[in-house]
Structure 1
Amino acid sequence: MPVHIRTYDRTEDPEDHLQIFIGAARIEKWSNAECCLMFMQTLVGSARIWFNDLPSRSIRSFDDLSKGFLANFSQQRRYVKDATVIFQIKQRDDESLREFIERYKKEGLTYVGVDEKMRVAGFMNAITSKYLTRDFNKSLPKTLEEALERAEAHIRGEEAVDVKEQRKRGSS
């Protein structure tokens, strides 16, 4: 197996996985049967269970296997949505800023075709901290990475204040 072909565990885009595999199969000049056998070796976890549960003789070609694979894992596919959808991601009332950052990184990056400025604006629009919003508005972050770093610094600052207040209460 070529080293650049990773395993597929259902957490990534199945189309990306399939395209990388097909490219390698062409270079290696694998036959139809070899493609089926080698592709099976790239599946782990629930993807492997899906493959093992396929009815006997239901796959006649690698094309059948590819179509079945994409149909079964299509919900994992990255797809282009209207860029404004990124503004629908919001920090929940019961969600800490740290939890929201992790969710935003996962959800926000699944929208292909959203430019950096939209990602930054979407993140700034989504947070509930008025102090962080004020900080962002004083000096707009140029990249999502910068916005996330500043949000992390804000979290560390809040945590330091909390510790200081706890110490103050403890010594009173």
Structure 2
Amino acid sequence: MTNPFSKDIMNFQMPKDVILPTTLKSYDRIGDPNIHVTKFHTMMFMNGASDPIFCRTFPTFLDGAVLIWFSNLPAGSISSFDKLADLFVNNFVALKIYVHDSNYLSTIKQRQHESLKDHMTRFAKATMEIPNLKPEVHLHALKSGLHLGKFQKTIIATKSKTLAKFREKSMSQIEIEEL
């Protein structure tokens, strides 16, 4: 097995008190590699880690075929964590879970017997996956996904123009439904 780290990285004296994150799962080709790198970097940065520490500890959070990929990198080819992260992300980006765009929201409709609370929760989860979602698009999709009924008519009649106003109205409706 070759060592992909540069001499500078390998010659760095690792502190004895390095704390590795205990909640970060090893990456084994499941999920977005960008998220894995970001989580790792954030957790290590919180512990005051430096670039050589990032490099030397990152492989401990790789598993299976991903660890084999790392082991097969050319000797001495990694001189910084940025380089390692770029290689890692570029190699595994095809495995990234598809992220929806704002058009996807128009497909989320309140189901026939679904409570408003459950619908709002399901809708909120979908919006978390959409980067840079504009509030007006969010609101339009949310309103148009409601099934026909008293609440939808109320929303149309009151012309809630902001998410805050819509949420205020929906919270009142949810309280009514739960009674």
What is the match of residue 139 of structure 2?
Answer: 120
d(CA) in 2 for partners of 1:119, 1:102: 14
How far does the alpha carbon of each residue in 1:146-170 deviate from its partner, in whole angstroms, 9 at most, with x for none?
A: 323422320211232xxxxxxxxxx
Matched, 1:30 2:51: yes
Higher fraction of helix? 1
What is the match of residue 90 of structure 2?
Answer: 67
Kept in 2: contact 1:97–1:155 (CA 8 A): yes
d(CA) in 2 for partners of 1:103, 1:146: 19
Q: Go from structure 1 to structure 2 and tell me whether the alpha carbon gap of 1:106 and 1:65 turns closer, same or farther (over 3 Å shift).
A: same
Tell me which amino acid in the other structure corresponds to 1:30. Answer: D
Tell me which amino acid in the other structure corresponds to 2:34. Answer: E
TM-score (norm 1): 0.60
d(CA) in 1 for partners of 2:90, 2:160: 43
Cα drift, residue 84 of structure 1: 3.7
Matched, 1:54 2:54: no
Cα drift, residue 132 of structure 1: 1.2
Cα drift, residue 120 of structure 1: 0.8
Secondary structure of the residue aligned to 1:54 is: helix
Q: Go from structure 1 to structure 2 and tell me whether the alpha carbon gap of 1:69 and 1:39 turns closer, same or farther (over 3 Å shift).
A: farther
Cα drift, residue 14 of structure 1: 4.3
Matched, 1:101 2:120: yes
Tell me which amino acid in the other structure corresponds to 1:144. Answer: L
Structure 1's unaligned 5+ residue stretches are: 44-50, 161-172
d(CA) in 2 for partners of 1:56, 1:114: 35
How far does the alpha carbon of each residue in 1:68-96 deviate from its partner, in whole angstroms, 9 at most, with x for none?
A: 45343x106x46x3x44322221122432
How far does the alpha carbon of each residue in 1:18-72 deviate from its partner, in whole angstroms, 9 at most, with x for none?
A: 3575685xx95513xx43443356x5xxxxxxx3223664212525433345343
Cα drift, residue 104 of structure 1: 0.2
What is the match of residue 7 of structure 2?
Answer: none
What is the match of residue 110 of structure 1?
Answer: 129
How far does the alpha carbon of each residue in 1:106-159 deviate from its partner, in whole angstroms, 9 at most, with x for none?
A: 113322343111111111110115111122123222332432342232021123
Q: Higher relative contact order by CA 8 Å / sep ≥ 6: 1 or 2?
A: 2
Equivalent pairs counted in the alignment come to 144
Matched, 1:146 2:169: no
TM-score (norm 2): 0.58
**Identity across aligned pairs (percent)?**
17
Tell me which amino acid in the other structure corresponds to 2:174. Answer: I
Kept in 2: contact 1:86–1:111 (CA 8 A): no
Secondary structure of the residue aligned to 2:111 is: coil
